[in-house]
């Protein structure tokens, strides 16, 4: 097919395929030999595909799910001829169909652009796939918003594809809904629409906790970013969601002595990327302005290409050399997840430690968030302090800020009873809504002033053995007033 006749998204994918060094005549998908069948995504995707198979029982359609890296996890198909044909091109569990492995295809494009994708016949980059039409839709984890994987429907290229993409989108939506129902039962609130970026003035009031004495893990990371910025290097801060990557970059920039604005551009929904770029891109390269683009690993591939072009132009305009501060920085969960077009522009990678590896930072940060929310009058009881410092904080600083603000909204003296049940829970299993209600009620009773397990059991109408069993099941640990664990 003449690449000039391709739609813009497909043309960009073909260009990336050439950049990866792939041959249109030869396809070699990577084989891992094993797939993760224990994940919530696999469990829910499998159930949705089995239900869809009943709907498409007489159709020559192969249905599959793949993880966020493009690895095919599961395939469902009742048509023997298309199954044998897909086996010959290795579109089967254990093989990777990411764009970088096999070029433009529906599954890989849906993951690269984080958007529903339809690739017909000769729109595929590799000739071996041009006998098929593939429709795929990404599945987002409803609890975290992270890319969980994709649902892919493949049929013969001569077959009608009008409804194929709609079916893939419906299956992806059903998978996400089932993950929500079988997960914690609570959806992470989406970011407010319209909050595209945040502006920090040169005083950085938002990050004044940086003046406190924090752990070596944090201060060493800040020092690395500060040194790199002072030498005119572009910094990528990597780490878990909510660990404080943007805060670290802004703190480091402030410590260089530069008086500047800091624009923190947050990743938008895939459909809003064009407007997102147009809104803040004019600020890039302005005097005394630094742009931090958060979550570049979550950008559609075409947007990363446009962003790299903008960054490269701004860097050339700013110039090179000691003391020449670059006009941008980026954040991502892992360096390996940063798009290939952006990684050559990055000079220094700084890993931001997760909060569970910085237990000495928990109380200083908690006091900072309480002070910012209510003022210096808010304090923590010793039991509340022990509960906060003994928790793992899987959502990192973002979760700590939410917990402290909610508690500080209720009282000036934060005790264990003002903290949510999640802080006292160590179980990693997924709970139903009913189990969450039961767990929260047990924690509420156990954190009442002067309570004992026996009193909590009586209040709940349970025997002591039953409440101990449920505490073990939910991983509940409530520090007592003497510094131990309630029992």
* pLDDT value at residue 237: 97
Query: Structure tokens of 175?
Result: 């998978």
* pLDDT value at residue 174: 95
The residues of the chain that CATH labels 1.10.8.60 are: 357-474
487 residues of the chain, pLDDT tens digit each: 666 688 989 999 999 999 999 999 988 888 987 788 889 999 999 999 999 988 887 789 999 999 999 999 999 998 999 999 999 999 999 999 999 999 999 999 999 999 999 999 999 999 999 999 999 999 999 877 889 999 999 999 887 677 899 999 999 999 999 998 887 544 444 444 444 445 444 333 444 444 567 899 999 999 999 999 888 889 999 999 999 999 999 899 888 866 677 888 888 877 788 888 888 888 887 777 888 999 999 899 988 998 998 888 877 776 654 445 567 899 999 999 999 899 999 999 999 999 999 999 999 999 999 998 888 889 999 999 999 998 989 899 999 999 999 999 989 999 999 999 888 887 566 677 778 888 888 888 888 887 888 888 888 888 888 888 888 888 888 866 444 444 4
349 vs 42: CA distance, rounded Å: 33
Residues in Cβ contact with 486 at an 8 Å cutoff, skipping those fewer than 6 apart: 446, 451, 452, 453, 477, 478, 479, 480
Taking Cα atoms as reference points, which of 338, 306, 323 lies closest to residue 236?
338
Burial of 472 (0-12, 13-18, 19+ CB in 10 A): exposed
H or E, element range at 127:
none
* pLDDT value at residue 325: 57
Helices assigned H by DSSP within 20-61:
40-55
Residues in Cβ contact with 11 at an 8 Å cutoff, skipping those fewer than 6 apart: 3, 4
Taking Cα atoms as reference points, which of 218, 180, 193 lies closest to residue 362?
218
List, in sequence order, every residue forming a beta bridge with 478; answer none if it has no partner. Answer: none
* pLDDT value at residue 377: 85
The residues of the chain that CATH labels 3.30.450.40 are: 3-182
- CATH superfamily ID and name for 3-182: GAF domain (3.30.450.40)
Cα dihedral across residues 381, 387, 389, 395: positive or negative:
negative
* pLDDT value at residue 327: 76
The structure's pTM equals 0.72
The residues of the chain that CATH labels 3.40.50.300 are: 197-353
Q: Does domain 197-353 have CATH number 2.60.40.1180?
A: no
Cα dihedral across residues 440, 445, 447, 453: positive or negative:
negative
Cα dihedral across residues 263, 267, 269, 273: positive or negative:
positive
User: Which of the listed CATH numbers 2.60.40.10, 1.10.8.60, 3.30.930.10, 1.20.1440.80 matches domain 357-474?
Assistant: 1.10.8.60
Burial of 317 (0-12, 13-18, 19+ CB in 10 A): exposed
* pLDDT value at residue 208: 46
47 vs 76: CA distance, rounded Å: 11
40 vs 483: CA distance, rounded Å: 37
């Amino acid at each position: 097919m003449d690449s000039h006749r391709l739609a813009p998204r497909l043309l960009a994918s073909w260009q990336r395929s050439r950049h990866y060094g792939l041959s249109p005549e030869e396809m070699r998908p990577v084989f891992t030999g094993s797939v993760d069948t224990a994940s919530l995504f696999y469990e829910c995707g499998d159930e949705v595909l089995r239900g869809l198979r009943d709907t498409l029982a007489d159709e020559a359609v192969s249905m599959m799910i793949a993880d966020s890296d493009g690895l095919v996890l599961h395939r469902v198909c009742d048509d023997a001829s298309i199954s044998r044909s897909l086996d010959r091109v290795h579109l089967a569990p254990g093989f990777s169909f990411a764009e970088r492995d096999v070029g433009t295809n529906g599954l890989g494009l849906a993951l690269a652009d984080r958007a529903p994708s339809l690739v017909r016949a000769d729109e595929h980059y590799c000739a071996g796939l041009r006998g098929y039409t593939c429709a795929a839709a990404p599945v987002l984890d409803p609890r975290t918003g992270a890319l969980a994987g994709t649902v892919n429907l493949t049929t013969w290229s001569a077959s009608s594809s009008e409804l194929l993409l709609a079916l893939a989108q419906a299956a992806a939506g059903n998978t996400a809904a089932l993950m929500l129902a079988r997960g914690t039962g609570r959806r992470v609130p989406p970011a407010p629409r319209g909050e595209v970026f945040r502006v920090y003035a040169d005083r950085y009031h938002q990050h004044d906790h940086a003046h406190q004495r924090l752990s070596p893990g944090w201060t060493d990371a800040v020092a690395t970013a500060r040194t790199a910025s002072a030498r005119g290097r572009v910094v990528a801060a990597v780490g878990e969601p909510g660990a404080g990557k943007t805060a670290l970059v802004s703190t480091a920039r402030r410590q260089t002595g530069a008086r500047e604005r800091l624009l923190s551009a947050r990743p938008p929904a895939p459909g809003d990327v064009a407007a997102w770029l147009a809104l803040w891109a004019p600020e890039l390269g302005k005097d005394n302005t630094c742009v931090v683009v958060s979550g570049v690993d979550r950008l559609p591939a075409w947007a990363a290409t446009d962003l790299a072009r903008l960054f490269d132009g701004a860097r050339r305009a700013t110039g090179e050399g000691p003391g020449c501060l670059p006009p941008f920085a980026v954040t991502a969960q892992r360096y390996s997840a940063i798009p290939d077009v952006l990684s050559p522009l990055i000079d220094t990678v700084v890993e931001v430690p997760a909060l569970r590896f910085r237990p000495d930072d928990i109380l200083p940060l908690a006091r900072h968030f309480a002070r910012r929310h209510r003022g210096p009058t808010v304090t923590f009881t010793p039991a509340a302090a022990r509960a906060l410092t003994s928790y793992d904080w899987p959502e990192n600083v973002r979760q700590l800020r939410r917990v402290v603000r909610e508690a500080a909204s209720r009282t000036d003296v934060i005790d264990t009873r003002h903290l949510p049940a999640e802080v006292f829970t160590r179980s990693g299993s997924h709970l139903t809504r009913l189990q969450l209600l039961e767990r929260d009620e047990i924690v509420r009773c156990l954190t009442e002033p002067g309570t004992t397990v026996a009193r909590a059991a009586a209040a709940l109408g349970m025997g002591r053995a039953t409440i101990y069993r449920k505490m073990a099941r939910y991983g509940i640990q409530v520090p007592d007033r003497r510094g131990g664990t309630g029992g």
